[in-house]
């Protein structure tokens, strides 16, 4: 009897250990942790879709495509980023996709990418220029290529940039502002991103007055290369804070949704407390929905296990960064990285943030978003979201590629379902699992009649010991229709 009990207990323990997968012992196996050489193979037949749908490649050879738009005649345009993580600068472009897949340049930008997205309204294109070197801008571009700035000087020279834009029912331009840092503290990870060397005084900017807890982080001095530095939140590298210190908010700020009149003018705050609000779209009932790239397991204050929330925006609310993830405090044990300290609050809080509509896969990078609005395509009212895919191990370890697909979300109950994924026994980008399917979907947009979903696939970006290694000319524009 005793022996049977022991055997049973042993079996339970063995099962439990095996189920855990020994996380700490396993190497990271992210989708970018592969090698790539030569040309990208493109084969729509390698993409798995729900029954009754089919995909085709509309254009290939793009360099870092990010967004899709249609002019008043329904012609297709794609924004090319002009910048990729991995510090690769190219010329950002807006290109028109001709019949047969040819590309005609409408306008080129300067060395201030990434152009993170594009939309079209009232006879002009509006482009979000990330502003990695000179600060973010919202650009107005005419179909003839005339270019002007609706707003400029946005503080997005850090990890994350100016994103969007989307035109609201009120005719204003809504756009996202990413934060400078992963979780509120400038540190070594920002040196590796490249910007701490360029902009050593740059830091996160609050939208409203905040009171800090005075938590500071001691690190080597990465700016001077000598001695140590103590760094608090919402201040430059090497600057400490004290408990109860008030940091004044101002506009334009980071980690926020702002809006500006289409004709230009002062920006207004819509909501804030986001990390990197990337995709913006107005959904059923005219509500604004935003995808957010959640925390990474990196830097002076790493955060573990943070998903990528989908938010329904309430005007004027604060959404939790740098102390909450998807409405939950980072002081919960879920967010403690193995081997690193439990995050503590950086701010003194009066109230908690709301809960998200959905919470997508950790490190999956939920980016572009659009809503189906036509029965001819189906899933009317659901959000379609491009998942760029993990950048493991730099952003944190994963046990399998995360993202590299398009998902749909029922915004009434938060149910997430894959929509376009690569075929195969495992999920992942084509460069990882083989075949000619998806790499890194970044932008999604339904055609004006709602019958087709276009997917801007950024292309191949592997992760190396030196960081991201993006490959020019491997971007693809996919089109998905219902047969």
Instruction: State both tokens at 430.
Output: 């084509």
CB of 43 to other proteins, least distance (A): 16
CA 316, CA 105: separation in Å to the nearest integer? 39
Indicate the residue among 48 and 460 with the shorter CB distance to other proteins.
48
* Cα gap 234→301, rounded to integer Å: 13
* For residue 107, cis peptide bond before it (omega within 30 degrees of 0): no
The strand pairing partners of 142, in sequence order, are none
Q: How far is the CB of 400 from other proteins (least distance, A)?
A: 3
CB nearer other proteins, residue 161 or residue 379: 379
Q: How far is CA 328 from CA 320, 325, 400, in A?
A: 8, 5, 25
Between residues 16 and 465, which has the closer beta carbon with respect to other proteins? 16
Rounded CA separation 58/56 (Å): 6
Q: Which of 232/364 has CB closer to other proteins?
A: 364
Q: Max Cα separation, the chain?
A: 85
How many residues can be counted in the chain? Answer: 483
CB burial class (10 A; 0-12, 13-18, 19+) of residue 426?
exposed
Smallest distance, other proteins to C-beta of residue 324, A: 14
CB 67 within 8 A of CB 456: yes
- What's the distance, CA 354 to chain centroid? 20
Minimum distance between the CB of residue 414 and other proteins, rounded to whole angstroms? 5
Q: How far apart are CA 236 and CA 186, in angstroms?
A: 7
Rounded-to-integer distance, Cα 17 and Cα 25, Å: 12
**Considering the complex, what minimum distance in angstroms separates the CB of residue 78 from other proteins?**
24
Shortest distance in whole angstroms from residue 399 CB to other proteins: 5
Shortest reach from residue 410's CB to other proteins, in Å = 9
* Euclidean distance between CA atoms 363 and 390, whole angstroms: 5
In angstroms, rounded to a whole number, what is the distance separating the alpha carbons of residues 211 and 354?
Answer: 20
- Rank residues 45 and 265 by Cβ distance to other proteins and give the closer one: 45
Residue 124, number of CB atoms within 10 A of its CB: 18
In the complex, the smallest distance separating the C-beta of residue 417 from other proteins, rounded to whole angstroms, is 5
For other proteins, which is the closer residue by CB, 90 or 359? 359
| Distance from C-alpha of 230 to C-alpha of 61, rounded to nearest angstrom | 46
Query: Of 363 and 445, which has the nearer Cβ to other proteins?
Result: 363
Q: Which is nearer to other proteins, 109 or 294 (CB)?
A: 294
Q: Is-contact 216 235, C-beta < 8 A?
A: no
Q: Quick one: 136 or 305, whose CB is closer to other proteins?
A: 305
Residues at the contact surface with other proteins, assessed by CB under 8 A: 3-4, 7, 10-12, 14-24, 48-51, 304-308, 326, 332-334, 338, 355, 358-364, 396-400, 402, 413-421, 423, 425-427
Cα 77 from Cα 98, distance rounded (Å): 9
Minimum CB–partner distance for residue 35 and other proteins (Å): 21
Report yes or no: 302 and 183 within 8 Å, Cβ to Cβ.
Answer: yes
Specify the residue, 235 or 433, whose C-beta has the smaller distance to other proteins: 433
- Report in angstroms how near the CB of residue 365 gets to other proteins at its nearest: 12
Instruction: Spell 233-270 as b/e; 16+ CB within 10 A means b.
Output: bbbbbbbebeeebebeeebbbbbbbbbbebeeeebebb
């Amino acid at each position: 009897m005793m022996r049977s009990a022991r055997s049973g207990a042993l079996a339970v323990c063995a099962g439990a250990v095996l189920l855990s997968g020994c996380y700490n012992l396993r190497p990271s196996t992210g989708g970018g942790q592969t090698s790539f050489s030569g040309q990208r193979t493109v084969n729509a037949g390698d993409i798995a879709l729900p029954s009754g749908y089919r995909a085709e490649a509309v254009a290939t050879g793009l360099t870092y495509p990010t967004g899709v738009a249609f002019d008043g005649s329904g012609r297709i345009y794609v924004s090319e980023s002009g910048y990729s993580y991995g510090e690769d600068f190219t010329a950002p472009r807006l290109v028109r996709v001709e019949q047969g897949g040819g590309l005609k340049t409408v306008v080129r930008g300067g060395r201030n990418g990434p152009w993170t997205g594009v939309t079209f309204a009232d006879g002009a294109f509006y482009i979000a220029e990330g502003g990695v070197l000179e600060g973010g801008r919202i650009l107005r571009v005419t179909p003839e290529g005339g270019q002007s700035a609706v707003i400029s000087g946005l503080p997005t020279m850090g990890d994350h940039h100016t994103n969007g834009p989307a035109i609201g029912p009120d005719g204003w331009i809504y756009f996202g502002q990413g934060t400078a840092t992963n979780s509120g503290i400038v540190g070594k990870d920002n040196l590796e991103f490249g910007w701490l060397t360029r902009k050593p005084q740059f830091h996160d900017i609050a939208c409203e007055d905040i009171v800090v807890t005075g938590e500071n982080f001691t690190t080597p001095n990465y700016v001077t290369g000598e001695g140590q530095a103590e760094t608090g939140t919402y201040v430059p590298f090497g600057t400490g804070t004290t408990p109860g210190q008030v940091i004044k908010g101002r506009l334009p700020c980071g980690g926020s949704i702002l809006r500006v009149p289409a004709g230009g003018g002062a920006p207004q705050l819509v909501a804030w407390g986001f990390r990197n609000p990337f995709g913006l779209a107005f959904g059923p009932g005219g509500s604004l929905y935003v995808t957010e790239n959640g925390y990474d397991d990196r830097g002076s204050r790493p955060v573990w296990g943070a998903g990528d929330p989908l938010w329904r925006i309430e005007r004027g609310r604060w959404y939790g960064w740098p102390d909450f993830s998807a409405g939950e405090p980072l002081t919960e044990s879920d967010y403690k990285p193995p081997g690193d300290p439990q995050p503590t609050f950086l701010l003194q809080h009066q109230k908690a943030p709301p809960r998200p509509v959905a919470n997508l896969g950790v490190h999956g990078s939920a980016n572009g978003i659009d809503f189906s609005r036509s029965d001819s395509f189906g899933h009317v009212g659901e959000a379609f979201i491009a998942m760029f895919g993990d950048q493991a191990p730099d952003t944190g370890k994963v046990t399998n590629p995360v993202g590299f697909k398009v998902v749909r979300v029922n915004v009434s109950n938060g149910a997430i379902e894959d929509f376009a994924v690569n075929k195969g026994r495992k999920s992942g980008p084509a460069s990882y699992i083989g075949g000619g399917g998806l790499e890194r979907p970044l932008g999604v947009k339904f055609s004006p009649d709602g019958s087709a979903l276009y997917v801007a696939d950024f292309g191949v970006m592997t992760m190396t010991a030196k960081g991201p290694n993006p490959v020019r000319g491997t971007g693809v524009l996919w089109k998905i229709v219902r047969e």
